[in-house]
A and B are shown apart, each in its own frame.
Chain A
Amino acid sequence: MKPFKSTVHATLHNVAARVPTYEEVRERRARKTTGIIGKIVVFAILLVYAVALMLPFYVLFVTSITPYEELMGSMSFIWWPEEVTWDAFVPFITTDNLLASEIGVPILHGFLNTLWSTLLTTIVSLFVSGLAAYCYSKIRFKGKEVLFMIEIATMMIPMATMTVPSLIYYEALGWTFSWFPILIPGMFGSATTIFFLRSYMASIPNETIEAAKIDRLGPFRIFLRIVLPQAVPAFIAQFIFAFVGGYNNYMGPLLYLSDDPQHYTLQLVITELRIFYNQPGQVCASCLIALVPLIIVYIVFQRFFIEGISVGGGKE
């Protein structure tokens, strides 16, 4: 109301600019100062929160470079060790260590196990999901809506609660204590990924696909040559998300791979170090080695992380 009134006033009396009243000036000044104070307070709170979130990483680092004797003899936190040691990182590259010599290979082996198993499942799953998503979005066939409804409904089944009872099923298949329960079920694609990719692929123009059909390209080739290249950002978003889930998976390897040190994934190696060898420095060093690659991947691809998470993401 106020600005309207003032313009009417101004035009009626033909005054160039209305002079603000004393009260108005005071109010505006007050608002400006509370604005600045407010901004500082907001920034300070966020800064404190950020420091609190990053503190555990500092603790990890310092503990991993502190000698075992100094740590065990201490009754308070060591902010910086008297004598820096890098011993805790050695077993990752040599077998000169209890756990590593038991496995017969450096602990880095666990990292490789995690890497190949996660990459294999994730890539196959993405490919299968991508094909299904392409069919749902670009090919007409009878019963498509019903099948898609069923596919979406599967998202609602909380299979995570059935991880332990599934043991008897995999035992019947003869798969317990093998890689199969970790690898195979994940290879059949995921409903969330299909859902995400389908909506992304819907935006690919039909004309390019029609043109490819006239060139007598089959549906599989159309997928490989036209749809896949155009949906790369969506694939990356889903890939990163699935990869992080597989990389961090704890319960699956715990149930199926924990009997044979050769099969240990990175996460299992860390738990072994903690439970059976109780070397805090080595536990912290291995945590750091597990975390750093993922954090680097995250910082490089953080845009894709956010995209993947906002569309029905969330880890198991």
Chain B
Amino acid sequence: MEKFASHGLTPDLHAKKRVDGEKIFAYICVCIPLFGFTMFSVVPLLISLISTFTTMEYYDLNTMTWNNFETFKVVLSDDDFWKSLLVTLMLSMSQLISLIVALFISFLLSKKPRGRKIFQILFFIPYICSSVATAYMWMTMFDPNYGIINSVLVAIFGESARVSWTADPAAYVAAIIITTVWQAPGYGIVMYKAAFDAVNPSLYEASDIDGASAWKKFWRITFPSIAPTTFYLLMTGIIAGLQTFDIAKLFASWSADSWTGTAGPDNIGLTTVFYIYREGTLYYNIPAASVASWGLFLVILTLSLINYKLRKRWVNV
């Protein structure tokens, strides 16, 4: 009897011990990513926040001195900063256009045309291209002399139609927007595919019997079903648009004096992140860069929270 009891007891003790080991293992594994987040996100965030209230030399934390909100005054009275916000909003238009393109193309793809699979594969390729390659291929295409776009324009409308994409501010903005619209819709097309596939086909059959027009069918049936995806894409598009940097920075190399921080003719390509980059790396003014970064940070954080809340509500409904 005694033997039996001890036999029953031993594995139980072992099991308990093992479970504890498992828990310790779990705590370690779960805390590694959180530790990384603290070290490389929370701490830099706090340091950057502190720096906004100070003046500092180069990147030296020891030289930080309280400056009575001087940095805020300087940045908020800097015309370049306000202009950069306008430029960012203007370039964000490309995200809106991309969304419309993605919606239109996805709608056509949902009609199940021949070669649908191949089209879908092709349409995503621009999205995986690096911003460097994307910018340079389009700068080659927009080249005022040997570029294909001016060639086509001149061939159709004559020599007067030659656009100086590098020097005319409006043309420069248009070039950046076109480049973004070439690249960005791929993401939307992939996201929309699932949304279009999920539309209940019996709704279409019912409306067929009622003799609804294609236009009516789209707005009454398709559009409500894909609305959550559209909203999500709109929000992620705005967030991506607010952070526009790569393309703007790369296009800036069109100007010969781009090393001085010039961003295209009249600084028309100076987005907010480009402004932050210029303050931080060219003028070594991290406090000013931090003020602008924190402004952008709070705006994007708010948008993400709205996106998350609404998406949760939609998904749950």
Binding site for B on A (CB under 8 A): 1-2, 38-39, 42-43, 45-46, 49-50, 52-57, 59-60, 63, 71-72, 74-78, 128-129, 131-132, 134-136, 139, 141-142, 144, 147, 150-151, 154, 156-162, 164-169, 171-172, 176, 184-185, 187-191, 194, 213, 216, 218-220, 244, 247-248, 250-251, 254-255, 267, 270-271, 274-275, 280, 283-284, 287, 290-291, 294-295, 298-299, 302, 305-306, 309-310, 314
Contact = CB atoms under 8 A, between A and B. Distances in A.
Contact of A267 (B125, B132, B239, B296): B132
Nearest to A247: B130
Interface string B243-285: 1011001100100001000000000000001001101110000
Contacts of B281: 164, 167, 255
Nearest to A181: B40
Nearest to A217: B18
A128 B23 CA distance: 17
Secondary structure type dominating chain B contacts: helix
Given A267-B132, A270-B132, A290-B132, A310 B44 contact: no
Contact of A291 (B47, B133, B148, B297): B133
Given A162-B48, A219-B21, A294-B129, 4 more contacts: A128-B29, A165-B276, A191-B33, A280-B146
23 contacts: A42-B111, A42-B113, A46-B113, A46-B115, A59-B137, A59-B148, A60-B140, A77-B146, A77-B152, A134-B29, A135-B26, A162-B41, A162-B293, A165-B48, A166-B44, A172-B59, A176-B59, A219-B25, A251-B277, A270-B132, A298-B125, A299-B121, A306-B124
A161 B298 CA distance: 10
Contacts of A142: 23
Interface of B: 18, 21-23, 25-27, 29-37, 39-41, 43-45, 47-48, 51, 56, 59-61, 105, 108-109, 111, 113-115, 119, 121-126, 128-133, 136-138, 140-141, 143, 145-148, 150-152, 154-155, 182, 187, 190-191, 193-194, 209, 236, 239-240, 243, 245-246, 249-250, 253, 258, 273, 276-277, 279-281, 286, 289-290, 293, 296-297, 300-301, 304-305, 308
Contact of A284 (B34, B140, B253, B280): B140
A142 B239 CA distance: 36
B126 A53 contact: yes
Given A158-B301, A270-B133, A294 B128 contact: yes
B44 A165 contact: yes
Contacts of A172: 47, 59, 61
Contacts of B37: 154, 188, 191
Contacts of B105: 46, 49
Contacts of B293: 161-162, 164-165
Closest 6 CB pairs of A and B: A188-B36, A165-B48, A248-B130, A77-B151, A171-B59, A185-B40
Contacts of A55: 141, 148
Nearest to B147: A77
A67 to B, nearest CB: 12
Contacts of A42: 108, 111, 113
Nearest to A189: B33
A251 B200 CA distance: 43
B94 to A, nearest CB: 15
Contacts of B59: 167-168, 171-172, 176
A302 B121 contact: yes
A165 B109 contact: no
Nearest to B137: A56
Contacts of B141: 55-56, 59
Given A60-B137, A139-B26, A184-B40, A38 B111 contact: yes
Contacts of A53: 122-123, 125-126, 182
A45 B43 CA distance: 51
Contacts of B108: 42, 45-46
A109 B34 CA distance: 35
A167 B287 CA distance: 11
Quick one: which of A131, A156, A159, A160 has the most chain B CB within 10 A? A160
B287 to A, nearest CB: 9
Contacts of B243: 158, 160-161
B255 to A, nearest CB: 11
